[in-house]
Structure 1
Amino acid sequence: MSSEKDLTEYRGKRHFDRTDEPRGTGDATGGEPCFVVQIHDASTLHFDFRLEVDGVLKSWSVPKGPSADPHDKRLAMPTEDHPLEYREFEGVIAPGEYGAGTVIVWDQGTYRPLPGKRKRRTAGFGEDLENGHASFWLDGTKLHGGYALTRFRTGREPGDRESWLLVKENDTYASGHGTPDPARVRSVRSGRTLRQVAAETPGDGGSG
């Protein structure tokens, strides 16, 4: 279960009387932990990569999106924890609100942690992330196989932001294909493109 503290930053950035984003109850999904990849057409078009960990969605902004090519090292910038309900969010965040713009669910599924290459194991997946490296297996609609997140900048130095790399493992699901054009792909939940979601949302939709 997530605590109120886990979502304090998330809730503090949003006005829930003006956005349809979920406030979050912290209810666990049950079974295998979930992951979701959302495309967010905000001030910049990017992918949001989220893993269920300890009752919240640990989140990274991935400008170029996850790739199936092990040679692609995708920059991943951590953002605030999101509630588990956010995995279903699709729509338009109103102008003037934090993250204003259109969101679709590009991929979703479950994942399982993979054992690290080092002999000594840590207490759990959350601790692996705290230590700066975690490997996991994705079972999604579009993404499959092993991936790893590795922190290469802690953000502790003045002017630095914490930064990670998201990389595909070289397994049977690896390919030379990168990430499709985010403006053209369709949601795995509704089958709609970003443009269609923006056009079908009442009010002043579109990216901010």
Structure 2
Amino acid sequence: MADDTANEIIALLKKEYPGVKIALHYSDPLELLIATILSAQCTDKQVNGVTKILFKKYRTPQDYIKTSQEELEKDIYSTGFYRNKAKNIKELSKIIVNDFDSKVPDTMETLLTLPGVGRKTANIILSGGFGKIEGIAVDTHVKRIAFRLGLTANTDPEKIEKDLMKIIPKNDWDILTLLLIHHGRKICRARKPLCGECVLNKLCKSAFTFG
């Protein structure tokens, strides 16, 4: 059974952010996978600017394999950590071609075999790319806000995910991440959360404790 407070939090956030959806631009699971990898330590806006050009140049896993490491690095340079991201993209493209018939795999177990893909990324791909909900993607916003709200006492993303899965209805697992990301960017910021403007302030364990 879902926690009543968790249900109330979700209801308030749904009302506050109607029609919320993933900020990354993509048209298929491969594009979502690449965009999500590029989004590490980078804004979605910056990623969308890069992928607008990137996805015209690279349409298949084979395209990423054929290009040189150096050229791919240049193409994604502005997203940061470009060497490691380019290396992972080329390696996972080879695995997708060789092991999955050139198609992005659609299970948690198989996605976790790809370089650079952890549970957070896998949850995003499963939900946004295949409509499959197997867990909750825990990014920095989800981690911070779930802790502040008292929904978890853990700091490890996988433990936080398990805590949230126990109290959040499964049909809200995917939207919870999107709601908390939007709320984290607009109101519940890392350094100076705007508690006075927050629709959750009466439910939050940390409200008004920030100077």
Fold match (TM-score > 0.5): no
Q: Which has the larger radius of gyration?
A: 2
For normalisation by structure 2, the TM-score amounts to: 0.25
For normalisation by structure 1, the TM-score amounts to: 0.25
